[in-house]
Structures are given as C-alpha cells and as structure tokens.
Chains A and B, each alone.
Chain A
Amino acid sequence: MQKHSAGMPVVEVRGLWAGYEREPVLEDVNLTVVPGDFIGLIGPNGGGKSTLIKVLLGLLPPLRGEVRLFGQPPAHGRRMVGYVPQAFAFDRAFPIRVHEVVRMGRLSRRGLGRRFTAADDAAVRTALDQVDAWRLRDQPFGTLSGGQRQRVLIARALAVEPQLLILDEPTASVDPQGRADLYEILRVLNAHLSILLVTHDMLAISSYVKTVGCINRRLVYHGTRELTPAMLDLGYPCPVELIAHGAPHRVLAAHPSGEQREERP
C-alpha cells in the first residue's frame, strides 16, 4: 500500500500562518503526520480547525510557511488524500444516487471528457463494501440518515485509494450508536492508511484516535495520547476535566452521556 519510503512524512507543515483578509486564524502551526498515524485535533469553533483543513487540501493558500503532502505542494499531493466533509452541508433535494456520489472519488483519475471505467466501478464497490454500505448504492443520497450519509462520504474518500484520510467533524449529524460504528470503521481503515480528524466529539478523542492535538489559533501536538497542560493553556474548556481526573476515557465513561460503551482495555 505504501508507495513512499518509510521516511517520507504524509503531512509536513512548517511555520504555517493562514487566514482570511490578512487576519491570521492560524499562527505558527507545525505538524508532521507519519504513515500509520490516527490523529484527532480538537478545538473551539473559530479556532482554525477548518482553516487548517482548507490549507492542507490546497483550497486556501498560506499567508506564510510551508505545507507538503507526501513531499509535494497540496494541489498535487491531494491526489493521494481522501477528504470527508461534514455531511449536513448537502442539499437533500439534489437528485443523485449513492454510487454516483462515491464515484466522484475517481474524478482525479479520469481527465476531462473521459468516461468512468470498469476499474472505477470496482473501486466504488470496494469502497462501499469497506463502510458496509453497498446495499445503499442505488438510493438517492438525500434520503439517507446522517450516519449513512457520512459513511457514503467516507466511501467516496476511499474510492480515491488514498494514503491519508482527512475528516472534518465526521460525526456532527450522527446518533451515538452510529458514531461508535463510524469510529470502528476508521480504526480498521487505519491499519493501512493514515487518518487526520478534526472534531468536537470527545468519544473519538478519548477512545479511538492514537494521538491528540488541540488547536486554537496555535496548534499543540506532541504525538501523545493524553491532553497536556499546554493544550489546556489554549483555552479549550473540555480538556479540563480530562486532565483534572488524569484518566481521560474513564472520566468520560462515568458521565451519563447516554452512550453505553464498554471501556477498552
């Protein structure tokens, strides 16, 4: 699966400043993602999570600093990235079927005026199987539940045959059981691709990701599982209780959140 040498970082961000109209939303951000990573970034609204994603995908040029995907500029490196946007942003009345949505993942491989091929159909099938949604293939996308739509968007990202998945709030419109299922899918996928996820969802942060970072204008990321005092200093309210109790996942499980999850060993 890995076509690149083991030393090549998946994502390399150095001294990044980014934002709109000369007003930086991100300041001096440094981040390295290596193969096999499963990184969860948390942060408040307006803290720069989606700005970071836009820069990584080459949708927003940095004000300063350097961004590399697989050693290339984002506009080239993004061919190896599967991007999963938020599911609720879509027009539910748009007439499109699930398999047509997933097939968009093949666009970068088929130039203007070229038809999709049997290989593309096979990739669509594989991707839908990976998220257990092949049976939904002929359904209109707008009629799916939040969790189903999110799975289809993950399938679209997988149809790229990516080496990195970037997910933006993947569980924002998903019920608790659907969340656990989605994270389970991501954990399986992580066996052969890297994952970078921004979220509010403490379930993901506490139980599924391998390492945690906190982003609020600046990024604090040390490649650790636990939230550190430095992340607390960024002013994000949720980590407080995690750190105060010293044992993140146990604290969350003890809260009556309606999510009856077994604590993982």
Chain B
Amino acid sequence: MIEALQFDFMRNALLAGLLVSIACGIIGTFVVLNRIVFISGGIAHAAYGGVGLGYFFGFSPILGAVGFSLLAALGMGLVQRHTRQRADTLIGVLWALGMATGIILIDLTPGYKADLLSYLFGSILAVPTGDLWLMLGLDLVIVALVALLYKELLALSFDETYATVANVPVGALSLLLIGLIALTVVMLMRVVGLILLIALLTIPAAIAGQFVRDMRAMMLLAGGLGMLFTTLGLWLSYTLNLTSGATIILVSAVAFLLSLGLRAFTSRSVRATGEFGA
C-alpha cells in the first residue's frame, strides 16, 4: 500500500475514501436511526436519471445526478410525510422511474459512452483532485449543519411527535436531512457506485449503533469504521487486483456480520455471568 501511494490516483482514492466516510458516518447515522434506508436506496437509483440527462444534453452527468437526486429526495420525502398508506410502494416506483429514465436517455444518446459503468460501480481510482475539494466542502456543510441543529435533529429522530409538540419545524428539517442524504449519495456514487452505495452509507452506522450509548458517539464511530473499511478495501483491491468499490463493500459487509456475531457472543456471556439488568 505504501509504495502504491506514490501514484497520484492512489493518494486521491485514499483521500476520497476518508472524505466520504465522514459524510457516511453522520448522514448514515440519521438514515439508520430514522429507518429511511429504503428511501436512501431509492434516491441513489433515481439519480441515474440525472446521469442519463447529462449524457443526453451534453452536460456533466454528476451535475445531473445532483439535480435528480435532490428532486427524487424531495419527492420521496413528501410522499413519505404526506401519504398515509403504501408510501413504500410509491417510493419504489420513483426509484425505478428515475433509473429507467436514465437508461433510456443513455440509449438515445449517440456515440461511445465512456465511463458509464463508473456511475453504477464506482471509480474511486479515477477521482480527480477537484472532486476531492467538492467532497471536503460537502463534509464541512454537513458537519456545520448537524452541529448547529443537533438538538433538533436528535429530537426529530428519537420522537418526531414530541418534537412537533415542542414546536420544532420537523417538516423543514426532514426535508433538509433528506436533501443532505441526496448530496451524500452523489458523493458516494464516485466511490462505490450507485448500486452498492447504500451499503457504505448504512453499514458503518449500523455497526456503530450496536456499541454506543449516544448519537454523537454513533456518528464518530461510524465515521471511523467507514475510514477503516474504505482504506482496507482499497488496499485489498490493489493487492488482489479486484474492483475497488465491490471490495470495499465486501469488507464492510463482513465486518457487519462479525459485529452481529460479536454482539450475540458478548450479550450471552454477560447474561451468563448474571450482570445483565443488575
């Protein structure tokens, strides 16, 4: 790994992994605690419509993805808040609609489509330095907003009804949160691709959630785990010559299964020694 770092693309890849892990740790915590994994997956896939739009009209596919994911996030957020039944069905339809639109638009675009697969499966080895600055900027926005609105976001996630009674603007904050999810999703698309990014968004937070006692600690631990998984995955993919996005996800998923086993083991041994509930 050390000798690999003499290459610019490896340094950028490593930095990209570290930068997205910060966003993943914070936003992934909200995704897991608010149980909106499905919506987040929907946003990721709907964003492909924006990629197609970019190809078709000849502007940056990433810009299209940003626009489309924000639009999808807004739509899905409103559906979830204002539809009484079957919100998940509607979200599933929006999910597929975005993706299908992208595929058709790319079909209609003449010529060779370079790096089309990179949006589906990620291209962490091809992250330009300019994108790193964008990632850093988004991290700073996320950290600043969450620090500023921490007490409201905690109340919203823990007990939305009570937050409403306390006159917290839960509607606006939910849409802000889902907008931040959309931006994080586009950032993750560069690293692991839209098909797999839901795993990197949720697995570090899901692991952290089993071992912490407050939300701040969950964000920090999830961020750290994300850095560990992306770095380890990158090193393995370099050493074994495997697709980096998929390797990162595989490392994360194995860690998740191990954490489940570890938790089952420790809670059993705690119960056996009779300390539980004392």
Which A positions have Cβ atoms within 8 angstroms of B?
Answer: 57-59, 75, 78-79, 81, 83, 85, 90-91, 93-97, 100-101, 103-105, 107-108, 110, 112-113, 115-116, 140, 156
Of chain B, the residue at the smallest CB distance from A160 is B166
CA distance A93 to B167 in the complex (A): 26
Q: Inside 8 A of B162's CB, which chain A residues have their CB?
A: 83, 85, 104, 156
CA distance A108 to B33 in the complex (A): 23
Contact B159 A85, beta carbon cutoff 8 Å: yes
Tell me whether A104 and B167 are in contact in the complex, defined as CB-CB below 8 angstroms, given that A94-B33, A113-B148 are known contacts: no
CA distance A81 to B166 in the complex (A): 9
Q: Does B36 sit at the interface, judged by CB under 8 A?
A: no
Contact A112 B213, beta carbon cutoff 8 Å: no
Of chain B, the residue at the smallest CB distance from A113 is B148
Q: Inside 8 A of A57's CB, which chain B residues have their CB?
A: 165
Min CB distance B213 to A, Å, is 5
Contact A59 B158, beta carbon cutoff 8 Å: no
CA distance A115 to B147 in the complex (A): 10
CA distance A58 to B158 in the complex (A): 20
Known: A101-B158, A113-B148, A140-B213. 5 other contacts (CB 8 A): A93-B210, A95-B215, A100-B214, A107-B152, A156-B162
Of chain A, the residue at the smallest CB distance from B150 is A115
Q: Does B180 sit at the interface, judged by CB under 8 A?
A: no
CA distance A81 to B161 in the complex (A): 14
Q: Inside 8 A of B154's CB, which chain A residues have their CB?
A: 96, 100, 104
Q: Does B155 sit at the interface, judged by CB under 8 A?
A: yes
Contact A59 B165, beta carbon cutoff 8 Å: yes
Contact B161 A59, beta carbon cutoff 8 Å: yes
Contact B155 A104, beta carbon cutoff 8 Å: yes
Indicate which residue in A83, A95, A100, A110 contacts B212 across the interface (CB closer than 8 Å).
A95
Q: Inside 8 A of A95's CB, which chain B residues have their CB?
A: 33, 209, 212-215, 217-218
Contact A79 B163, beta carbon cutoff 8 Å: no
Min CB distance B111 to A, Å, is 49
Q: Inside 8 A of B210's CB, which chain A residues have their CB?
A: 93
Min CB distance A194 to B, Å, is 17
Q: Inside 8 A of B113's CB, which chain A residues have their CB?
A: none
Contact A107 B168, beta carbon cutoff 8 Å: yes
CA distance A113 to B169 in the complex (A): 12
Q: Does B86 sit at the interface, judged by CB under 8 A?
A: no
Q: Does B269 sit at the interface, judged by CB under 8 A?
A: no
Contact B167 A79, beta carbon cutoff 8 Å: yes
Min CB distance B205 to A, Å, is 10
Contact B164 A59, beta carbon cutoff 8 Å: yes
Q: Does B149 sit at the interface, judged by CB under 8 A?
A: yes
Indicate which residue in B148, B149, B163, B217 contacts A104 across the interface (CB closer than 8 Å).
B163
Contact A97 B167, beta carbon cutoff 8 Å: no
Contact B213 A97, beta carbon cutoff 8 Å: yes
Min CB distance A94 to B, Å, is 6
Q: Does B82 sit at the interface, judged by CB under 8 A?
A: no
Q: Inside 8 A of B157's CB, which chain A residues have their CB?
A: 94
Q: Does B271 sit at the interface, judged by CB under 8 A?
A: no
CA distance A191 to B162 in the complex (A): 25
Q: Inside 8 A of A101's CB, which chain B residues have their CB?
A: 158
Q: Inside 8 A of A94's CB, which chain B residues have their CB?
A: 33, 157-158
Contact A93 B209, beta carbon cutoff 8 Å: yes
Contact B167 A116, beta carbon cutoff 8 Å: no
Q: Inside 8 A of A85's CB, which chain B residues have their CB?
A: 159, 161-162
Q: Inside 8 A of B214's CB, which chain A residues have their CB?
A: 95-97, 100, 140
Contact A108 B166, beta carbon cutoff 8 Å: yes
Hey, what's the 0/1 contact readout for B26-53 against A, CB within 8 Å counting as 1?
0000000100000000000000000000
Q: Inside 8 A of B159's CB, which chain A residues have their CB?
A: 85, 90, 104
Hey, what's the 0/1 contact readout for B210-226 against A, CB within 8 Å counting as 1?
10111101100000000
Min CB distance B210 to A, Å, is 8
Hey, what's the 0/1 contact readout for B127-152 against A, CB within 8 Å counting as 1?
00000000000000000000011011
Min CB distance A8 to B, Å, is 21
Q: Inside 8 A of B218's CB, which chain A residues have their CB?
A: 95
CA distance A143 to B163 in the complex (A): 22
Q: Inside 8 A of A110's CB, which chain B residues have their CB?
A: 151
Q: Inside 8 A of A107's CB, which chain B residues have their CB?
A: 151-152, 155, 163, 166-168
Within B197-243, the residues touching A (CB, 8 Å) are: 209-210, 212-215, 217-218
Most chain-A Cβ atoms within 10 A of its Cβ — which of B154, B162, B209, B218? B162
CA distance A112 to B33 in the complex (A): 21
CA distance A75 to B161 in the complex (A): 13
Contact B167 A108, beta carbon cutoff 8 Å: yes
Min CB distance A39 to B, Å, is 19
CA distance A107 to B148 in the complex (A): 14
Can you identify 23 A-B contacts, CB atoms within 8 angstroms?
Answer: A57-B165, A59-B164, A75-B167, A78-B165, A81-B165, A93-B210, A95-B33, A95-B215, A95-B217, A95-B218, A100-B154, A101-B158, A104-B158, A104-B162, A104-B163, A105-B166, A107-B151, A107-B155, A110-B151, A113-B148, A113-B149, A115-B151, A156-B162
